[in-house]
């Protein structure tokens, strides 16, 4: 018997790969030094900036249909936190948001792993962390995909 597929993990890995490929230049404002998922340490160095942290949150079944016994159409909530440290953190966080939204829009199916991706919201948090100026913005998206019933 084969190992269970982990579709949500495959999507998060595709997101990390794509975000790590963002490079400052003609198309994007920044190159992202740290792209992680569920990062729990403190961002406390200017060298940690700019950073992206991806958190997959709740998954919900889109519709219960006859095929639900074998297939599940899922809506997965994903939060993407972008972190900027330094003097121009407020202005830079806007540029980082533009980078991420542009990059997400290049392929809303994440290499064919999903049907579609929708923008839900963004929320900015300006915080002082260990005496450093830090901006944090959370971009929330919904990723719609299909997986085998009762698999991860």
| Domain contains 2 | no
Percent of the chain with pLDDT over 70: 79
The domain that holds 129 is classified in CATH as 3.30.70.1700
Residue 46 has pLDDT above 70, yes or no: no
To which H or E segment does residue 134 belong?
Answer: strand 132-148
In this prediction, residue 48 has a pLDDT band, given cuts at 50, 70 and 90, of: low
8-state DSSP, 32:
-
The residue-averaged pLDDT of 30-52 equals: 74
| Domain contains 123 | yes
| Count of the separate structural domains present in the chain | 1
| Domain contains 1 | no
Cis peptide before 50 (omega within 30 of 0): yes
């Amino acid at each position: 018997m084969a190992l269970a597929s982990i579709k949500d993990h495959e999507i998060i890995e595709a997101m990390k790969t794509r975000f790590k490929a963002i490079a400052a230049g003609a198309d994007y404002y920044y190159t992202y030094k740290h792209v992680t998922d569920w990062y729990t340490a403190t961002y406390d160095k200017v060298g940690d900036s700019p950073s992206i942290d991806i958190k997959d949150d709740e998954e919900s079944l889109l519709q219960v249909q006859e095929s639900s016994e074998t297939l599940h159409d899922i809506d997965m909530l994903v939060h993407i936190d972008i972190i900027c440290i330094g003097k121009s953190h407020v202005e830079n966080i806007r540029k980082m948001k533009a980078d991420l939204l542009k990059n997400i829009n290049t392929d809303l199916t994440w290499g064919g792993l999903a049907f579609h991706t929708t923008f839900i919201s963004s929320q900015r948090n300006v915080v002082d962390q260990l005496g450093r100026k830090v901006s944090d913005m959370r971009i929330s998206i919904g990723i719609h995909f299909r997986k085998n019933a009762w698999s991860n």
